Amino acid sequence: MTPNDYEFLRKLLKDRSGLMLSADKQYLVESRLLPVARKAGLSTLTELAQKLRAPNAEKLIVDVVEAMTTNESFFFRDKLPFEHFQNFIMPALLATRANQKRIRIWCAAASTGQEPYSLAMVLKEMSRQTEGFRIEIIATDLSTEVLEKAKAGIYSQFEVQRGLPVQLLIKNFSQVGEMWQIAPDLRAMVQYRPLNLLRDFSSLGMMDVIFCRNVLIYFDQATKIDVINRMSRLMAPDGFLTLGAAETVVGLTDSFKAVTGRRGIYSPNSAASGPAGGVLKFTHPPIAAGMR
């Protein structure tokens, strides 16, 4: 692959997905895109780049973007966000939504479904507290391929062993040959939709919780600011944004502020002081305790 071809691919990926590749990531491009080239009947990445420049290359462009933006995911990743969700975010929202009894949650980079299904398992454990509430989980991703896997909810032994407590595996999955499928009631709790964060997503409607973890790290600063600010317009004034461990809004925008004592959790700057700044006590044991 020539330097010009690599630059073309870098620009294509940034324009279509926001993915920023440094000049030294050519090895990553080669490892992920050679299978795409071969599937298209092409021998080299130079041939692939030529094909992508041609008219009517849209399907191939989609294949290239999906191959480069499919990121690793696993159940209860990093543990702490799910502890915060169960023991802080949900109790706060259950209190403030006692009248309308509706809570909307958006997983903005759902990948193969482990994150939204982890949230669904937390909510299932909280079924007594959430009784009478309508709780929606909307899960989106750029890649339609990973969303199809997420909808099926079928995972390998390796995938269910990563982060998933054995008691939750037994309770919420059934074995299908050598694979494991998540229970139908949990699959029904999640709505999957294809969505590109670089495009307008206002049609999703207002959200009480947004999980946008481990995706902003791939964007340049201008794109991060744009995405965060547009998310703030969909966020309920007393809602919560959860970012990945290596991500922050600090220094980027004042549309959100960090929640004191809750690493990775942010609230809209317009939110009144109250649940977001206080410490809420919750009596049932945290689901994440079984993940240590």
Q: 56: alpha, beta or left, given left = phi > 0 and alpha = psi -120 to 50?
A: left
**Tens of pLDDT along 7-50?**
899 889 888 888 888 888 888 888 889 888 999 898 898 999 99
Question: Distance between alpha carbon 249 and the CA centroid of its chain, in Å?
Answer: 17
Which ranges of the chain have pLDDT less than 50?
271-292
> What is the per-residue DSSP string for 6-38?
HHHHHHHHHHHH-----TT-HHHHHHHHHHHHH
CA distance 230 to 268: 12
Say what the pLDDT of residue 21 is. Answer: 82
- The token pair that represents 91 in the structure block: 């109790």
Say what the pLDDT of residue 274 is. Answer: 37
Say what the pLDDT of residue 145 is. Answer: 87
CA distance 211 to 114: 12
Domains of the chain, CATH where assigned: 3-69 (1.10.155.10), 80-152+185-291 (3.40.50.150)
Single out the residue of 207, 250, 253, 204 nearest to residue 228, CA to CA: 253
CA distance 21 to 125: 40
Say what the pLDDT of residue 169 is. Answer: 96
CA distance 167 to 72: 23
Enter the pTM of the model: 0.82
CB neighbour class for 149 (10 Å; exposed up to 12, middle 13-18, buried from 19): middle
CA distance 117 to 76: 9
In 10-164, the DSSP E strands lie at: 102-107, 134-141, 154-155
Say what the pLDDT of residue 70 is. Answer: 65
71-83 burial, b at 16+ Cβ within 10 Å, e below that, comes to bebbbbbebbbbb
Cβ atoms of residues 45 and 1 within 8 Å: yes
H/E segment holding residue 282: none
